[in-house]
């Protein structure tokens, strides 16, 4: 078994995004001699992100931060991947997660807390994200911070998402199922290049 660190006790890093134009999604180890290339790539992605966002992220990508970006990226690229990032406030958990999602070409979903935001608003947001991910086939990252827990029901819903993959009673069989079925059928026919009234 190969060592996970080098003589300086530095972590090994595996990524699948350095060869963007190869069409492959194969994780390869980034040798220490290529760490400068990795740093340049991530810095370029950060600059690209900042150019596209209203609120840029003025973060410094030192070696450990780049390592965390790669680890977060790997987590979110896994099927049903999820992680809990623990650290002091201002340590970059939020910003590095945003950058990792951007590198993965994933949508980023967050809740916007207001005085009137409650369980009903939260479930409506989750329904919207489910529609984008499930019906429109748009992968994404749900980024949630502990300071956004304004209702204990949020924790229960998130726990259900992580354990069983859904929020119970989120969709109504009478009100939602017919619309979901029609949207999925429409998207399926579109992907096959068939007419909207084709029988499948």
Q: Are 157 and 122 found together in one domain?
A: yes
Tell me the residue range of the domain where 85 lies: 1-105
Domain termination residue (choose one: 59, 74, 105): 105
Locate 18 and state its tokens.
Answer: 């350095």
Angle between helices 35-52 and 63-77 (to 10 degrees): 70
SS3 141: strand
Question: What pTM was estimated for this model as a whole?
Answer: 0.81
Q: Are 35 and 133 found together in one domain?
A: no
Which portions of the chain are predicted below pLDDT 50?
A: 1-4
Q: Are 120 and 47 found together in one domain?
A: no
CA distance 173 to 164: 19
SS3 44: helix
Q: Are 157 and 178 found together in one domain?
A: yes
CA distance 157 to 199: 37
Query: What pLDDT score does 118 carry?
Result: 92
Bridge partners (DSSP) of residue 29 are 14
**pLDDT tens digits, one per residue of 17-37:** 887 655 567 788 888 888 899
Query: What pLDDT score does 186 carry?
Result: 80
SS3 108: strand
Query: What pLDDT score does 5 carry?
Result: 52
**pLDDT tens digits, one per residue of 53-87:** 988 898 999 999 999 999 999 999 887 788 888 88
Domain count along the chain = 2
Query: What pLDDT score does 48 carry?
Result: 95
Domain of 84: which CATH number?
A: 3.40.50.300
Q: Are 95 and 124 found together in one domain?
A: no
CA distance 159 to 168: 11
């Amino acid at each position: 078994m190969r060592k996970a660190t080098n003589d300086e006790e530095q972590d090994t890093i595996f990524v699948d995004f350095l060869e963007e134009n190869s069409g492959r999604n194969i994780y390869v180890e980034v040798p220490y001699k290529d760490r400068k290339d990795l740093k340049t790539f991530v810095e370029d992605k950060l600059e690209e992100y900042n150019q596209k966002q209203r609120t840029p992220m003025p973060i410094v990508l030192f070696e450990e931060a780049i390592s965390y970006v790669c680890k977060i990226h790997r987590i979110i690229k896994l099927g049903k991947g999820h992680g809990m990032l623990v650290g002091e406030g201002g340590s970059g958990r939020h910003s590095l997660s945003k950058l990792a999602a951007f590198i993965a070409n994933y949508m980023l979903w967050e809740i916007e807390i207001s005085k009137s935001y409650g369980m009903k608003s939260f479930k409506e947001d989750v329904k919207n994200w489910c529609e984008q991910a499930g019906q429109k086939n748009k992968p994404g990252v749900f980024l949630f911070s502990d300071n956004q827990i304004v209702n204990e029901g949020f924790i229960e819903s998130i726990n259900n998402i992580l354990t069983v993959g859904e929020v119970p009673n989120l969709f109504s069989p009478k009100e939602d199922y017919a619309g979901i079925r029609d949207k999925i059928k429409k998207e399926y026919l579109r992907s096959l290049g068939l007419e909207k009234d084709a029988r499948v």
